[in-house]
Amino acid sequence: MNTIEKRIQAYLSKKPKQKVELARKAPAILKDAQKIDDSIDREKAKVEKAFLQYKKVWQSWTNFLEDADQKLTKLRYTDLDELYKKLNEVGVNPNSLPEVKQAEQVANRALNAVDGLKSVYKKPQ
């Protein structure tokens, strides 16, 4: 060691030692960060599972509505129209039969419900 280094060493050895405390130790920070990272993964998995279930249910819902729409359209605009024609051919007023009028009202109400429900739930991306 040269003279300057000896003097610095002598000076530092006379100074009282100071203890330096870190705010938090690296292992504790790592542990907390890992816990949060693991929580993110768990919550993401929950959301992905729910989203996949929503996609499946939404597709089933859409298929159901399309099927209902087709069946109701046939009932209302084919079956009921044919019934009206046949009843008129034999001289019976279709409106005089409560079941015929009810069937028309129910079919119309159901068709309106299907049309409204088609836009209630958004298609998953």
pLDDT tens, position by position, 16-66 = 777 666 678 888 999 999 999 999 999 999 999 999 999 999 999 999 999
The pLDDT value recorded for residue 6 is 77
| pLDDT for the residue 102 | 96
How far, in Å, CA of 106 to CA of 108, rounded? 5
pLDDT value, residue 1: 58
For the chain, how big is the Rg over CA atoms in Å? Answer: 39
Report the number of secondary-structure helices (H) and strands (E) in the chain. 4, 0
| Mean pLDDT computed over 94-120 | 95
Measured distance CA(107)–CA(103) in Å, rounded: 6
| The pLDDT of residue 12 is above 80 | no
Residue 100 burial by Cβ neighbours in a 10 Å radius (0-12, 13-18, 19+): middle
Mean pLDDT (the chain, rounded): 91
